[in-house]
């Protein structure tokens, strides 16, 4: 019981003190889990992180579920995950309540108009970063363009596009057209 409470509190701190999620959370995870406590080694953490990236869902949540499970089985996984999402639930609920009260204020309307422009610039950055990471061969660029056009011009469901893309990679590998090294990078 004590360990479950510790798991909850530790991940509550990580969730509540890191902005941005994803990669920005890694230093905080390392500090809380490997340095302050010896729950997981740095290597284990990087492994969990890698798995968190290639499993469905939010990477930070996946990583906390993994660490929690390793520490105390299914109850541990649940405690860690609840800890990770609790700060978001509290902060966003309060903020959304507050924002919905002042959203019609003229100053707020101007501020949000400016913010929306910046969000667009930030998103453009996100797309470029993702493209740099995922465009590891010309075929990958082709896949991205085809999926982009299908999503833009046809009503094909997002889920189907993801499943078919995943199947394509497996088929290419099975038929020997795609060869990956141990790190998962394509061999030319």
Partner 1 sequence: MSIYFYLFIEFFQIGLFAIGGGPATIPFLMNLTERYDWYTKADVANMLAVSESTPGPIGVNMATYAGFQAAGVAGGIIATFSLVLPSLIVIIIIAKLLENFSKNPYVQSAFWSIRPAVTGLIANAVLGIFETAIFTNAEGHFHFPVFSVLLCAVFFGVMNIKKLKKLHPVVWILGGAVFGIMFKM
Record the tokens describing residue 81, joined without a space: 């995950």
**Residue 20 to residue 72: CA distance in whole angstroms:** 27
Considering the rule CB under 8 A, would residue 102 count as an interface residue with partner 1?
no
Shortest gap between Cβ of 100 and partner 1 (angstroms)? 8
Shortest gap between Cβ of 33 and partner 1 (angstroms)? 16
Considering the rule CB under 8 A, would residue 26 count as an interface residue with partner 1?
no
Considering the rule CB under 8 A, would residue 162 count as an interface residue with partner 1?
yes
Per CB under 8 A, contacts with partner 1 among 37-56 are 47, 50-56
Judge contact between 83 and 9, C-beta under 8 A: yes
Considering the rule CB under 8 A, would residue 187 count as an interface residue with partner 1?
no
Among 1-9, 35-43, 67-75, which window interacts with partner 1 (CB under 8 A)? Answer: 67-75
Considering the rule CB under 8 A, would residue 20 count as an interface residue with partner 1?
yes
Shortest gap between Cβ of 30 and partner 1 (angstroms)? 16
**Residue 2 to residue 8: CA distance in whole angstroms:** 10
Q: Quick one: which of 46, 19, 15, 8 has its CA closest to 30?
A: 46
**Residue 92 to residue 103: CA distance in whole angstroms:** 15
- CA 57 to chain CA centroid, Å, is 7
Among 2-10, 35-43, 179-187, which window interacts with partner 1 (CB under 8 A)? Answer: 179-187
Q: Quick one: which of 30, 119, 20, 33 has its CA closest to 68?
A: 33
Cβ proximity to partner 1, 10 vs 52, nearer residue? 52
Other residues' Cβ atoms within 10 Å of the Cβ of residue 54 = 9
Per rule CB under 8 A, count of chain residues that contact partner 1? 96
Per CB under 8 A, contacts with partner 1 among 106-145 are 107, 110-127, 130-131, 133-136, 139-141, 143-145
């Amino acid at each position: 019981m004590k360990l479950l409470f510790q798991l909850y509190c530790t991940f509550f701190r990580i969730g509540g003190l890191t902005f941005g999620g994803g990669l920005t959370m890694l230093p905080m995870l390392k500090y809380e889990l490997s340095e302050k406590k010896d729950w997981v080694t740095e290597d284990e953490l990087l492994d969990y992180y890698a798995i968190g990236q290639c499993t469905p869902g939010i990477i930070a949540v996946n990583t906390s579920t993994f660490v929690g499970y390793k520490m105390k089985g299914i109850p541990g996984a649940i405690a860690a995950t609840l800890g990770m999402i609790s700060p978001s639930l509290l902060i966003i609920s309060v903020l959304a309540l507050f924002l919905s009260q002042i959203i019609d204020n003229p100053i707020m309307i101007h501020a949000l108009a400016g913010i929306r422009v910046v969000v667009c610039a930030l998103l453009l950055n996100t797309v470029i970063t993702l493209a740099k990471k995922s465009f590891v061969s010309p075929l990958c660029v082709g896949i991205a363009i085809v999926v982009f056009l299908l999503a833009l011009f046809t009503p094909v469901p997002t889920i189907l596009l993801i499943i078919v893309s995943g199947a394509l990679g497996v088929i290419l590998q099975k038929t020997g057209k795609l060869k990956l090294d141990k790190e998962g990078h394509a061999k030319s």
